Structure 1
Amino acid sequence: MIIIFTQYFQPNTNPNIDFIIPLTAEQRYRSRQKIELSSSQKVYLNLPRGTVLEDGSLLQSETQEYIAKIVAQPEPVITVKANTQLDLIRAAYHLGNRHVPLEITSTYLRLSPDSVLESMLVKLGLEILAEVAPFYPEKGAYGHHH
């Protein structure tokens, strides 16, 4: 049985969650996709085009009998740290010029693994850490993902 989720909603109460759906950063930008939660449970997202899901987003099935919660699935990432904020800002500038999906905080940058970009960042004197963590790239100035 495949359960189809068609509605994104903001609850005004604490609803009972029937399913937890872990999605990578890239998957959270897809409004239509099939997801296998287990060998016996599959769900299909059939949301309005342009829907961007976030960690904690709630979905309702087309039959309105099931509620699912989206969680950011840990995935391979590169975390970039610097000795100074200026070095971190400089790295963000260079990554931005390459239109790389990028998570930006005051203490680190995070991006998908890419050996060419990692080499560039090391040459800039930054610390590179390969990790598995939830990835929250910036949505961009116009609210979309690259």
Structure 2
Amino acid sequence: MITCSKLMPQGRGLASVLVKRASTITLDWDTRQKSRFDAVDSSQRQLGIFLPRGTVVRGGDVLVAEDGSLVRVEAAPQTVLRITACTEHGSPFDLTRAAYHLGNRHVPIELKPDHLKIEPDHVLADMLRAMHMTVVQVTESFEPESGAYGDHGGHSHDQSDTSQPHTHGPDCKHEH
């Protein structure tokens, strides 16, 4: 078994050609939330993943194996509920309201401009339908938000580092 104990979020810092050549593992959200798990990569190698506690693995992340090889993580398609505003008698604000109510229940949620995704839950589906939302079960990858204190694109809003002020706007010089 080959051990992987380093994670490079979204392969940052690696040449894209290296990431494209890397073997892959396809994992569902349940597994990607764990910091320790076993997997088999696309080259049929047995991998033991040992990351710091609390680490969440995202689709597009790259693991570094003990032998120096790279393993690209893909988010597996899984059953999720896709939630959209009712086109007949709803409004785009309804999606915001639904996200609020789901967040209030601490439900892992993926936010998109025109829909939300959550793991299947018939009680929540009924609640959303009562709010006149359209709820459909689909098979897609699931990448829920990391939460208020999670990673939001690889930079910190910690103001203790004053060597470079953090600004948003045309002179921001980093991606969001």
Q: Do they fold alike, i.e. is TM over 0.5?
A: yes
Cα-to-partner distance string for 1:41-60 (whole Å, 9 max, x where unaligned): 42111122232222111111
Distance 1:57 1:11 in 2: 12
- Is 1:56–1:69's contact at 8 Å kept on the other side of the alignment? yes
What's the counterpart of residue 12 of structure 1?
14
Name the one with the larger strand percent.
1
**Which runs of structure 2 are paired with 1:57-96 in the superposition (5 Å)?**
57-64=61-68, 66-83=69-86, 84-96=91-103
- Figure out how many residues of one structure are paired with residues of the other and give that number: 141
- Is 2:84–2:116's contact at 8 Å kept on the other side of the alignment? yes
Distance 1:29 1:81 in 2: 26
- Is 1:59–1:67's contact at 8 Å kept on the other side of the alignment? yes
TM-score (normalizing by structure 1): 0.87
- Is 2:82–2:118's contact at 8 Å kept on the other side of the alignment? yes
TM-score (normalizing by structure 2): 0.73
User: Does structure 1 residue 27 correspond to structure 2 residue 27?
Assistant: no
Which of the two has higher C-alpha Rg? 2
5+ residue gaps, structure 2: 152-176
Return the structure number with greater relative CO, CA threshold 8 A, min gap 6: 1
RMSD of aligned C-alpha atoms? Answer: 1.8
Shift of 1:130: 0.4
What's the counterpart of residue 131 of structure 2?
124
- Greater shift in the superposed pair: 12-21 or 107-116: 12-21
Secondary structure of the residue aligned to 2:37 is strand
5+ residue gaps, structure 1: none
- Is 2:35–2:51's contact at 8 Å kept on the other side of the alignment? yes
Distance 1:89 1:60 in 2: 38
